[in-house]
Amino acid sequence: MSIPETISFDKDGAVEPRGWLYRARHHVHRLFLTLVILLVAVLSFGIGRLTSGGKSEPIKIEYDASLATPVASLPVALPQNGGVVASKSGSKYHYPSCPGAKQIKEANKITFPSPQAAEAAGYTLAANCQSR
């Protein structure tokens, strides 16, 4: 099966094809012009968007010290002069510098004037505290 093609001759006797390929060649110029117009339109739009986007002001975040709320630390009454602390519900006593002493809530804290007084009350030295 073949595509029928009309053949004609020019004035010199050369063959001039008059089929679909010949007719499509005339539309190439219109197609090219259409593509150029579309490409120019898209590029112009893109360049316009790029140039107008940089004119906005940058966002500035400033710190206002007057709005900050100071964090109040609660005064901790630690025993002085060799005193120790213990918990009401526990069986161990701690020196004020031990980490365990800082974990006892103020409501449950018992203060002893010396380690001997804490041992007399039935408390023993905590394992994470070193004796002085």
Listed residue (82, 77, 67) closest to 110, CA to CA: 77
pLDDT interval class at 98 (50, 70, 90) = confident
Count the helices and strands in the chain (H runs, E runs).
Answer: 3, 6
Q: What is the Cα 129 distance to its own chain's centre?
A: 42
Domain boundaries, the chain: 7-51, 84-125
Dihedral sign, Cα of residue 10, residue 13, residue 16, residue 18: positive
Average confidence score pLDDT of the chain: 80
What's the predicted TM-score (pTM) here? 0.40
Q: How is residue 85 written in tokens?
A: 């602390």
DSSP 78: -
Residue type, 36: V
pLDDT at 128: 85
- pLDDT above 50 for 32: yes
pLDDT tens digits for range 35-88: 999 999 999 999 888 887 666 677 888 888 777 776 665 555 544 556 899 999
